[in-house]
Structure 1
Amino acid sequence: MRTPLIRLVAAVAGATVLAAGCGSGAGPSAPGKSEITLWQQKFTDQEDAWYKKAVAAFNRSQDKVVLKHVIVPADTWDQKMRSAQAAGKAPDVYTVNYSKVPGFARTGVIQALDPLIPADKWAGLQEPVLASVEHDGKKYGYPMLVEPSAVLFYRKDLFAQAGLDPERPPATWQELIDYGRKLTTKDVAGVVTAANQIDLAWSTWGLQWNAAGHLPISDDWSAPRAADPAYKQLLQVYQTLYQQGIMPKQPLAPYADANPLGQGKTAMMVCGSWAASVLLQDYPKLVGQIGAAALPSFDGDATKPTATLGGWTLVVDAKSRDARASAGFVSWLLAEDTTLLVEFFKNTKFSKYSPRAAVAEAIAKDPAAAENPWAKTIEEQVVKYAKAEPAYDWAVSLAFGKAVEKALQGKDIDEALRAADAEIKELIAKNDLAGQGS
């Protein structure tokens, strides 16, 4: 499980991790073999085990290349990567979340894969996801998966106890408030969602689109748009939920943690699609009592976005010692045989989604896919209408997150949005963002 906060503070580990023996997949390279290195951010145990197996399989398949594998703790990623780059020892291949790809491409940190991976290998990828790894007409990463940032999971049994229809989750923001009031007791929160500026910064991206039809900065990043009055309705919802005690005043768990729902401490929970794997793994007896739906929209229109699609890709460093071999591994893992990839989605309880048609078709034929009873609903109601994660500077997202946090605290909403607008305007000037957007 991970969040964009973890993504924000993560980038790859170097000498410390290597010294600690956290690598896998290859011993000393044989004479005449090209040695390349993969740095993978630490995910769940199941995902880490899958990467280890994939690296071992790749090395068995190669005569001229050996791949070394390092798993990096998320909280040391940025620091380790910067140190490695400064020392000229950056990994050849590494995991990156989509929102960082355009910036890395623009600043020359990673290299285009178009010349290194044949054109036919790019066929069958969803265009919106492919656009997330493109810059200036070139492709800088090969999409591996997508996972929507915000899904509404809820307890059907608690709905029934409160006199609500278990098969009809709230469709509008006002219904979310009304349902939340009915579901709140002294022991159970009506809804659990993000409650601090960092989590609010990324978990509300889809709702920002829903409220105003745009993000709080112009498409070309030249002007702030946080002061749009359309955002008032979004901040008002959070203020009402928090001030009326529908949301717990003290967090029950870190945001994106599915346990409060499984433990019966909340009747509704906003979390990414990855929550499904936790619920299936740790609360199997409750699965039939848990429902999933798209987050409510402001006006009840279910075709408007309420979530963004994050996910992970593999990139090749601009200074890779063997760019062709590195891109060859990326292609071997993500663009060719689907067997290993289907195993990845199976290991993660089909709580993530493949943007590659051949993989999605293979998953659909796998009987194990039925183990996740929410997968189809999330795919059809959330993934279908979600927007891509924004690629602008994280500080822009944080400025809006601060505004929502101020609303939670009961502060004036108009003033909070004006402050966010002013901060984003300053960020545009300070970081020369104008014109860098698409």
Structure 2
Amino acid sequence: MRTQLIRLIAAVAGTAVLAVGCGSGGTGQGAAGGKAEITLWQQKFTDQEDTWYKKAVAAFNKSQDKVVLKHVIVPADVWDQKMKAAQAAGKAPDVYTVNYSKVPGFARTGQIQALDPLIPADKWAGLQESVVGSVEHKGKKYGYPMLVEPSAVLYYRKDLFAKAGLDPNKPPATWQELIDYGKKLTTKDVAGVVTAANQIDMAWSSWGLQWNAAGHLPISDDWSTPQATDAKYKQLLQVYQTLYQQGIMPKQPLAPYADANPLGQGKTAMMVCGSWAASVLLQDYPKLVANIGAAALPSFDGDTTKPTATLGGWTLVVDAKSKNAKASADFVSWLLAGDPTLLVEFFKNTKFSKYSPRAAVADAIKNDPAAADNPWARTIEEQVVKYAKPEPAYDWAISLAFGKAIEKALQGKDIDQALQAADAEIKDVIAKNNLAGQGS
């Protein structure tokens, strides 16, 4: 769930300016020259992503004679507050960025509108079905998928592997091997492995591992029954407990989960992070690239076809109260379902650390010589993305309940009791929010 990374960036950016104007959204008619005005709110991402959006908006506006698009970049730390205020005032933006896990919920509450009637059927061809499923609610599509990025990839330092007597070309394949490797790699100056270490980061970064350990998430598919006490989850919490209690993980986190710097700085030999870490490593540690390997996170039983990550990402939606819904959807279609070259530039700008769910774009990327600059892209695509599950769309409190259980395991508390507490908390969330039957 790369929202955590965005929040990290926002914290550094502080009160970053709202780019390209800072007015409210959905203004309907009245733009200069008699053009209809639509507004795009984009959550602030990296500078490279923000620059791409600005360039794309300028190109769209140049191509239009009846519509003008106003582009607003909003820092992540004020996004919710600003959006709620705009909605309350009846001035929500026409189009805005949303991460996949929120789309079904927004659709259920009537915050966004279905795009099927607004975007021609042929524009939906060539999209990965599993990703399309992330933007669907009751058979209708409420967002157009832009990208996916797996939540968990194992990056490791080949030079430190060799120094510890480990084969640099054979990363750990099972969790027991991860523990064994971690012991050999841990020194007084270098951690054996760095991964999520607090309940919030563990709540979402472990989604893929929850699937890997038990074959399901800690709530039934229809969201009616908690499943956190499945005995198979004990092995997951035991791994975290062992890594932490035996000092393989640092006692004090070196950085938030989304931060790739500990590996580049030589503070850890192995690091679990999302695919976006590749762009940081390529940008900030170019001399180390040859000494860094990437692989799928180990599976509990060594089966490489089981998921170890979930696919998060971003989509564009049209507000339910937009006064120019068709023009807004036309922009979404132009940006994400139009010329593949436009999107290839986005992936190039982000060092090919994200992946396109649209076949035409994915094919164009493979034919772009610059794609070879990311030496881990193909491995991540074939070993991680291929088997990853969509990130869950249920209430965040459910994920947090499981994150709390993992945190208790880190602290050395009884694993059975930690899972029982999570199960009870999930049961309470289901009841208080009337979730039963609302899942897929």
Which residue is equivalent to 1:160? 162
Contact 1:148 1:273 in 2 (8 A): yes
Q: Which ranges in structure 1 are unaligned for 5 or more consecutive residues?
A: 11-15
Structure 1 residue 418, shift from structure 2 partner: 0.1
1:377 is paired with a residue whose SS is helix
Structure 1 residue 411, shift from structure 2 partner: 0.4
State which of 356, 360, 370 in structure 1 corresponds to 2:358: 356
CA distance in 2, matches of 1:64, 1:77: 29
Q: Which amino acid aligns with 2:134?
A: S
1:67 is paired with a residue whose SS is strand
CA distance in 1, matches of 2:137, 2:39: 25
CA distance in 1, matches of 2:185, 2:51: 40
1:132 is paired with a residue whose SS is helix
State which of 70, 75, 78 in structure 2 corresponds to 1:76: 78
Contact 2:189 2:267 in 1 (8 A): yes
State which of 151, 165, 179 in structure 2 corresponds to 1:149: 151
CA distance in 1, matches of 2:149, 2:263: 20
1:226 is paired with a residue whose SS is coil
Structure 1 residue 6, shift from structure 2 partner: 4.9
Structure 1 residue 374, shift from structure 2 partner: 0.1
Which residue is equivalent to 2:115? 113
Residues 211-250 of structure 1: pairs in structure 2 closer than 5 A: 211-250=213-252
- CA deviations 1:231-255 (Å, max 9, x no partner) are 0000000000000100000111111
Residues 385-400 of structure 1: pairs in structure 2 closer than 5 A: 385-400=387-402
Contact 1:17 1:70 in 2 (8 A): no
1:31 is paired with a residue whose SS is helix
Structure 1 residue 4, shift from structure 2 partner: 4.2
Q: Which amino acid aligns with 1:388?
A: P
Compared CA separation, residues 329 and 256, structure 1 to 2 (3 A): same
Which residue is equivalent to 2:196? 194
Which residue is equivalent to 1:13? none
CA distance in 2, matches of 1:246, 1:278: 24
| Correspondence 1:317 to 2:319 | yes
Contact 1:4 1:202 in 2 (8 A): no
Residues 8-87 of structure 1: pairs in structure 2 closer than 5 A: 21=21, 29-87=31-89
Contact 1:9 1:78 in 2 (8 A): no
- CA deviations 1:6-61 (Å, max 9, x no partner) are 57999xxxxx96699468xxxx9323211000000000000000000000000000
Q: What's the RMSD between the two structures over aligned residues?
A: 1.8
Structure 1 residue 2, shift from structure 2 partner: 4.1
Contact 2:304 2:383 in 1 (8 A): yes
CA distance in 1, matches of 2:140, 2:19: 36
CA distance in 1, matches of 2:8, 2:237: 24
Compared CA separation, residues 5 and 86, structure 1 to 2 (3 A): farther
State which of 399, 415, 418 in structure 2 corresponds to 1:416: 418
Structure 1 residue 339, shift from structure 2 partner: 1.3
1:229 is paired with a residue whose SS is coil
2:32 is paired with a residue whose SS is coil
Contact 2:22 2:72 in 1 (8 A): yes
2:382 is paired with a residue whose SS is helix
CA distance in 1, matches of 2:20, 2:143: 29
State which of 328, 336, 342 in structure 2 corresponds to 1:340: 342
Compared CA separation, residues 154 and 22, structure 1 to 2 (3 A): farther
Contact 1:258 1:275 in 2 (8 A): yes
Which residue is equivalent to 1:378? 380
Structure 1 residue 340, shift from structure 2 partner: 1.1
Contact 1:38 1:69 in 2 (8 A): yes
- CA deviations 1:194-242 (Å, max 9, x no partner) are 0000000000000000000000000000000001110000000000000
2:34 is paired with a residue whose SS is coil
State which of 382, 404, 408 in structure 2 corresponds to 1:402: 404
CA distance in 2, matches of 1:252, 1:9: 17
Q: Which amino acid aligns with 1:115?
A: P
1:313 is paired with a residue whose SS is strand
Which residue is equivalent to 2:94? 92
Which residue is equivalent to 1:434? 436
Contact 1:47 1:347 in 2 (8 A): yes
CA distance in 1, matches of 2:66, 2:36: 6
1:191 is paired with a residue whose SS is coil
TM-score by length of 1: 0.96
Structure 1 residue 268, shift from structure 2 partner: 0.2
Compared CA separation, residues 288 and 131, structure 1 to 2 (3 A): same
Contact 2:276 2:354 in 1 (8 A): yes
Which residue is equivalent to 1:125? 127
Structure 1 residue 328, shift from structure 2 partner: 0.4
State which of 210, 221, 224 in structure 1 corresponds to 2:212: 210
Compared CA separation, residues 178 and 19, structure 1 to 2 (3 A): closer
| Correspondence 1:305 to 2:307 | yes
- CA deviations 1:350-386 (Å, max 9, x no partner) are 0000000000010010000000000000000000000
Which residue is equivalent to 2:27? none
Q: Which ranges in structure 2 are unaligned for 5 or more consecutive residues?
A: 11-15, 24-29
Provide the aligned length of Structure 1 versus Structure 2: 429
Contact 1:220 1:434 in 2 (8 A): yes
Contact 2:194 2:271 in 1 (8 A): yes
- CA deviations 1:109-141 (Å, max 9, x no partner) are 000000000000000000000110011110000
Kindly report structure 1 stretches of 4+ aligned residues shifted beyond 6 Å.
Answer: 7-10
Q: Which amino acid aligns with 2:185?
A: L
CA distance in 2, matches of 1:124, 1:135: 20
CA distance in 1, matches of 2:222, 2:295: 32
2:98 is paired with a residue whose SS is strand
CA distance in 2, matches of 1:217, 1:253: 30
Larger mean Cα displacement after TM superposition, 75-84 or 273-282: 75-84
Compared CA separation, residues 62 and 269, structure 1 to 2 (3 A): same
